[in-house]
Amino acid sequence: MPKEKITFFCTACGGESVRWQGRCPHCAEWNTLVEERVIKENSSKSKPHHPLKQAIPLSELSGEPQTRWLSGLSELDSVLGNGLTQGSSLLLAGEPGIGKSTLLLQLAFGLAKQGQTLYVSGEESLQQVQTRASRLQTLSDNILLLAENEIGRALGEALRLRPALLIIDSVQALYDSELGGSGGSVTQVRAVAAACLEAARHIGCAVVLVGHVTKEGQIAGPRLLEHMVDTVLNFEGDRHQALRLLRAVKNRFGATNEVGVFEMTGLGLLPLDQPSAYFLSGRENIRPGSAATCIMQGSRPMLLEVQALIAPSSFGNARRLAAGYDTQRLLMILAVLERRFGLPLGSKDVYVNIAGGLRVEDTALDLSVAAAIVSSLKEQPLEEGLLIFGELGLLGELRAVPLSARRLREGAAFGFSTALMPKQAQRRRHEEKPDKKSSPRSLEAADLAQALAILGLD
Ligand SMILES: Nc1ncnc2c1ncn2[C@@H]1O[C@H](COP(=O)(O)OP(=O)(O)OP(=O)(O)O)[C@@H](O)[C@H]1O
Ligand SMILES: [Mg+2]
Ligand SMILES: [Zn+2]
């Protein structure tokens, strides 16, 4: 007899708890536990140990390479590790409205010449998907649409059609009618995903699961599916800006430090194979408060413009706002500038913005943020063709950042003639040496005082 039982699940990691707690004991997130009914089969019989499959020596397995399909979306193909692997499973996670359905329609269209796609839409009507597909110009006979919320029925159609690619948009919108509870619960999301993967294995097709990430945690997050699939891609960006980043957080078929860059347009996602050009566009005549820097996103260098604006604050409560940059780090830089250089920033509002809508965590940005702030404060523009990068310490010291040579090369490619950077310590052996010919002239500073002197901002 199956027995019903109440269990508490974490919507972030899927961890199970017997009672409600404010904090998940598995992943330490707060307020993520929700109550769910689960049906437990009575399994008092112990399983027999009959070998159903025999183990094979590793060396005797045929090493046929898996077929990869190129979608033609260069940034997507490279994040996947040179295309979508046949028969693989992929989870595409992202916040609502970020462009997941758009990306997948474009993927299906890119693969249409190579095989059939079944697109199961659990959220949008056929009409809505069709409207988007015509806007994106991705209409094809080889993309078959099904608006369905019940996973059994959806997979029944998949088994009939046997497509090369199955897209489930989204795991939270579909439900298994044989299980209790509503769609989007931890039990349901797991069951839906497991059923999709099972069916895909049976058909031999690749499967893409869409997973919504929400901050509220009312629906189960995609994180609890990460271990079940081959590849996990996070789709990130600010919904109000056009820039989108596709990041591989897990990949059984490629590197995980790859980042794909796209621009969201009316015609869909446009791969940006030269993100530096995109970020620097619009930086023609250099105003006070503007500094150019180079960050690394995975293995890719990207040139960026850092903007700072210093304005007198009213009524003595100075505001500090950072868009695309860590506010805590901004406060640290301001403290260093105030305490070590006596700059009058305490009575000023400080705004820092990374042009283009990227969120940057690379500490190599520090020196350029400091330079942009001082440049704005003194209303003095920085020199043209100057690239600035380096990490700043609390004592005002500058620390070298990894992959300087790579950053310099990117700067040179986009016409930067000079680079201000921290004094380079002994170069680590695996790091490449800067190539004299294709590098900007580099000016090295040991601390912020030297750097500001070089910039003429002391
Ligand atoms: N005409 C348009 N021009 C430019 N961008 C558009 C246009 N229409 C939609 N978009 C962009 O597409 C985004 C929605 O894309 P999409 O529906 O693929 O996202 P999603 O991640 O699937 O969202 P959901 O969570 O609703 O499923 C919008 O937020 C907007 O940025
Ligand atoms: Mg969608
Ligand atoms: Zn948890």
Q: Determine the residue type at 231.
A: T
- CA–CA separation, 294 vs 458, rounded Å? 23
**Lowest mean pLDDT segment, chosen from 46-55, 150-159, 263-272:** 46-55
| Phi, psi dihedral angles at 77 (to 5 degrees) | -60, -40
Q: Find out whether 357 and 241 touch, Cβ atoms under 8 Å.
A: yes
Does the pLDDT of residue 116 top 70, yes or no? yes
48 confidence band (pLDDT: 50, 70, 90): low
Residue of 95, 100, 208 best suited for mutating to test ligand 1, as the one with most atoms within 8 Å of CB:
100
How large is the average pLDDT for residues 46-54?
Answer: 70
316 lines ligand 1 (CB under 6 A): no
* pTM for the full predicted model: 0.86
For residue 76, the model assigns a pLDDT of 96
Decide whether any atom of ligand 1 lies within 6 Å of the 99 Cβ.
yes
Q: What is the dihedral of CA 82, 87, 88, 93, to 10 degrees?
A: 100
CA atoms within 13 A on the CB side of 337: 27
Tell me, in angstroms, the distance from the centre of ligand 3 to residue 417's CA: 50
Angle between helices 366-377 and 448-455 (to 10 degrees): 50
Q: Which ligand is nearest to the CA of 94?
A: 1
Q: Which atom of ligand 1 is nearest to the CA of 169?
A: 27
pLDDT tens per residue across span 320-376: 999 999 999 999 999 999 999 999 998 899 999 998 888 888 999 999 999 999 999
Please report, rounded to a whole number, the percentage of residues in the chain having pLDDT higher than 70.
93
Distance 234 CA to ligand 1 centre (A): 16
Is any atom of ligand 1 closer than 6 Å to the C-beta of 102?
yes
Q: Name the token pair of 57.
A: 């020596």
Centroid of ligand 3 to alpha carbon of 211 (angstroms): 17
Q: Which atom of ligand 1 is nearest to the CA of 103?
A: 18
Cβ atoms 197, 155 nearer than 8 A: no
Pick from 71, 119, 434: nearest CA to 269: 71
User: Ion ligand 3 — residues with CB under 5 Å?
Assistant: 10, 12-13, 15, 24, 26-27
CA of 275 to the centre of ligand 3 (A): 36
Q: 101 CB under 6 A from ligand 1?
A: yes
Q: Which atom of ligand 1 is nearest to the CA of 105?
A: 18
For residue range 380-422, list pLDDT tens digits in order.
999 999 999 999 999 999 999 999 999 999 999 999 999 999 9
Cα dist from 111 to 130, 136, 154, 161, whole Å: 18, 15, 21, 16
Share of the chain above pLDDT 90, in %: 69
